[in-house]
């Protein structure tokens, strides 16, 4: 079976697994309720959730070693560290630009749809009362905690710069802080490129380790349909069994639709337009080529956990060069958060509308800038956007208690925005690929005088 056939087969299996998981999540709680055993529902989903957690941990355990070896391999493949300047600049510029574009899409939609106005009066009064109570309690909060909390764009930039460096790489690896690991990998591999044959054994070890990890990813992907089934069935089933999922979705349906519509526009129009403009590639065929990574992102809600699959599919299926993918995709999984930024911008305006506060154009510009910067600093883990959301709300004087209005549906939106983040990472690698110098043609493959066919002369 060819690689393309295997990819199509695996993609179909994952799609069927998601459909089956949704069916189980919807039917099983209802069947247990009809048979008078509704209290069994949590127990039934426990073994299913264990299977999903095992699959998620298998992916996560590869993230740190894969990031280090893949980034090093990408830099070593350049041969000269000075060649990293232009591709590196293009990668960062692409990520910041597309993230800001996502924020603009979100702001336009939320101002057109006004989802906050659809909230009933009782819920609006409840949110406003929570805001009043938070404001009243503010003076009594711990001053040190308040001082440590980022409140301005300058504070966010300062924290982002400090995030690039670590005084303990092992501690960063333990906590999954990928940015300092990437910086170390770039610098260390850059030094190796200047040492010539004296470090040939070490460079060969790095490349071989990276190759071995990629083969391990292929092995794990064989059980991906089962793992994804467990993840989706357990999460959706637990939410539906709680009896609050449907009611919550109806209550803030306009907000949910606004975020999903914004993410769809960015994923199906904005990012494809950017990819086609720079590479002239068919963006929708590109999406099919990395569909396994997108489906895994939706199932795990973690761009970091999806990173191994994204790298493998972008190289093998989408045909992007290894040196571009090894450098750009790990970097993107930490700083490219288009979906998160769009979601935070929409959520901030939605909360303002619920509270009856009309944000001026200047304040919405602050939201756009802050959401962009905060998203760059968001971790590639499930629901990391809720943490950085506090920064966005604080920047325009909105109470953080407003998060309670949207938190019940955040786990579902997190899956959509993570999928957009992963798509942006892969497309970024394809765009930056053209800015790497092409690999030289080995002398052994060049035609010699003796090998020229006389009939062609």
Confidence tier at 169 by pLDDT (50, 70, 90): confident
Query: Per mean pLDDT, which range of 179-183, 216-220, 235-239, 435-439 is the poorest?
Result: 435-439
Encoding tokens for residue 445? 């493959």
What mean pLDDT, rounded, does the chain reach? 79
Q: For residue 246, count other CB atoms closer than 10 A to its CB.
A: 10
Q: State how far the Cα of 248 lies from the Cα of 5, in Å rounded to an integer.
A: 41
* Whole-number pLDDT of residue 216: 86
CATH number at residue 200: 1.10.3860.10
Q: State how far the Cα of 345 lies from the Cα of 366, in Å rounded to an integer.
A: 10
Confidence tier at 390 by pLDDT (50, 70, 90): confident
In a domain, 382, yes or no: yes
Highest mean pLDDT of the ranges 3-17, 60-74, 233-247 = 60-74
Residues 131, 132, 136: CA angle, nearest 5 degrees: 115
Task: Tell whether the model's pLDDT for residue 1 goes beyond 50.
Answer: yes
* Whole-number pLDDT of residue 271: 96
Sequence-distant (6+) residues with CB within 8 A of 404 are: 127, 130
Closest CA to 67 of 416, 363, 425: 425
DSSP conformation class of 269: I
How much is the average pLDDT of 196-217?
86
In a domain, 232, yes or no: yes
Q: State how far the Cα of 175 lies from the Cα of 163, in Å rounded to an integer.
A: 13
Give residue-wise pLDDT tens across range 171-191: 888 877 777 887 888 888 888
Q: State how far the Cα of 263 lies from the Cα of 113, in Å rounded to an integer.
A: 15
Q: State how far the Cα of 126 lies from the Cα of 116, in Å rounded to an integer.
A: 14
Percent of the chain with pLDDT over 90: 18
Closest CA to 208 of 63, 67, 61, 73: 73
* Whole-number pLDDT of residue 368: 85
Give residue-wise pLDDT tens across range 87-96: 888 988 998 8
Range of the domain at 11: 3-435
Task: Tell whether the model's pLDDT for residue 386 goes beyond 70.
Answer: no
Confidence tier at 126 by pLDDT (50, 70, 90): low
Q: For residue 215, count other CB atoms closer than 10 A to its CB.
A: 9
Sequence-distant (6+) residues with CB within 8 A of 167 are: none
More confident residue, 389 or 170: 170
In a domain, 451, yes or no: no
Confidence tier at 150 by pLDDT (50, 70, 90): very low
Confidence tier at 452 by pLDDT (50, 70, 90): very low
Query: Per mean pLDDT, which range of 103-117, 251-265, 380-394 is the poorest?
Result: 380-394
DSSP string, 415-428: HHHHHHHHHHHHHH
Q: State how far the Cα of 264 lies from the Cα of 395, in Å rounded to an integer.
A: 27
DSSP conformation class of 197: G
Closest CA to 383 of 233, 247, 235, 170: 235
In a domain, 25, yes or no: yes
Highest mean pLDDT of the ranges 6-10, 242-246, 308-312, 426-430 = 426-430
Task: Tell whether the model's pLDDT for residue 423 goes beyond 60.
Answer: yes
Give the helix ranges, DSSP H, for 194-337. 200-221, 224-241, 245-251, 253-265, 271-279, 283-289, 291-300, 303-316, 322-335
More confident residue, 93 or 403: 93
How much is the average pLDDT of 293-298?
91
Q: First CA to last CA across the chain, in angstroms?
A: 40
In a domain, 448, yes or no: no
Instruction: Say if CB 339 and CB 268 are below 8 A apart.
Output: no
Confidence tier at 35 by pLDDT (50, 70, 90): confident
* Whole-number pLDDT of residue 449: 44
Q: Give the total number of structural domains in the chain.
A: 1
More confident residue, 238 or 119: 238
In a domain, 443, yes or no: no
Query: Per mean pLDDT, which range of 209-213, 229-233, 248-252 is the poorest?
Result: 248-252
pTM, two decimals, is: 0.75
How much is the average pLDDT of 54-76?
83
Task: Tell whether the model's pLDDT for residue 114 goes beyond 50.
Answer: yes
In a domain, 449, yes or no: no
Q: For residue 106, count other CB atoms closer than 10 A to its CB.
A: 31
3-class DSSP string for 166-205: CCCHHHHHHHCCHHHHHHHHHHHHHHHHCCHHHHHHHHHH
Task: Tell whether the model's pLDDT for residue 78 goes beyond 60.
Answer: yes
Percent of the chain with pLDDT over 70: 79
* Whole-number pLDDT of residue 444: 44
Encoding tokens for residue 397? 């004087």
Closest CA to 421 of 389, 366, 384: 384
Q: State how far the Cα of 375 lies from the Cα of 340, in Å rounded to an integer.
A: 6
Closest CA to 423 of 102, 74, 2, 8: 102
Residues 171, 176, 173: CA angle, nearest 5 degrees: 35
Confidence tier at 205 by pLDDT (50, 70, 90): very high
Give residue-wise pLDDT tens across range 335-352: 788 998 899 899 989 988
Sequence-distant (6+) residues with CB within 8 A of 251 are: 119, 120, 123
Task: Tell whether the model's pLDDT for residue 359 goes beyond 70.
Answer: yes
């Amino acid at each position: 079976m060819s690689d393309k056939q295997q990819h199509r087969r695996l993609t179909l299996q994952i799609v069927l697994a998601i459909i089956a998981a949704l069916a189980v999540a919807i039917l099983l709680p209802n069947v247990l309720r009809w048979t008078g055993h509704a209290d069994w529902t949590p127990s039934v989903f426990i073994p299913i959730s264990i299977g999903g957690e095992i699959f998620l941990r298998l992916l996560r355990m590869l993230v740190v070693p894969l990031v280090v070896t893949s980034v090093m391999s990408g830099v070593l493949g350049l041969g000269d560290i000075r060649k990293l300047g232009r591709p590196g600049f293009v990668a960062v510029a692409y990520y910041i630009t597309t993230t800001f574009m996502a924020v603009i899409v979100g702001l336009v939609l939320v101002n057109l749809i006004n989802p906050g106005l659809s909230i009933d009066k009782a819920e609006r009064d409840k949110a406003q009362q929570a805001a009043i109570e938070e404001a009243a309690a503010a003076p009594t909060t711990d001053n040190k905690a308040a001082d440590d909390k980022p409140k301005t764009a300058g504070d966010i930039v300062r924290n982002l710069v400090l995030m690039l460096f670590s005084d303990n790489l092992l501690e960063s690896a333990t906590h999954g802080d990928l940015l300092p690991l990437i910086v170390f990998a770039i610098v260390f591999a850059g030094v190796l490129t200047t040492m010539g044959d004296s470090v040939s054994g070490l460079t060969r070890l790095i490349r071989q380790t990276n190759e071995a990890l990629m083969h391990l990813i292929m092995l794990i992907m064989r059980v991906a349909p089962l793992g994804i089934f467990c993840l989706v069935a357990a999460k959706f089933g637990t939410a539906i069994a709680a009896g609050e999922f449907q009611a919550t979705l109806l209550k803030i349906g306009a907000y949910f639709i606004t975020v999903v519509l914004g993410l769809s526009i960015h994923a199906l129009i904005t990012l494809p337009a950017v990819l086609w403009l720079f590479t002239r590639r068919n963006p929708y065929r590109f999406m099919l080529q990395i569909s396994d990574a997108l489906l895994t992102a939706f199932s795990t809600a973690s761009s970091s956990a999806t990173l191994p699959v994204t790298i493998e599919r972008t190289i093998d299926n989408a045909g992007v060069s290894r040196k571009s993918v090894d450098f750009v995709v790990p970097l993107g999984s930490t700083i490219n958060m288009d979906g998160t930024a769009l979601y935070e911008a929409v959520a901030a305006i939605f909360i303002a509308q619920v509270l009856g506060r009309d944000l001026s154009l200047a304040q919405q510009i602050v939201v756009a800038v802050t959401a962009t910067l905060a998203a760059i600093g968001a971790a590639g883990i499930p629901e990391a956007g809720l943490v950085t959301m506090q920064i966005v709300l604080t920047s325009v004087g909105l109470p953080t208690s407003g998060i309670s209005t949207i938190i019940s549906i955040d786990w579902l939106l997190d899956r959509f925005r993570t999928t957009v983040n992963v798509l942006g990472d892969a497309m970024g690698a394809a765009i930056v690929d053209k800015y790497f110098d092409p690999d030289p043609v080995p002398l052994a493959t060049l035609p010699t005088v003796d090998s020229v066919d006389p009939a062609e002369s």
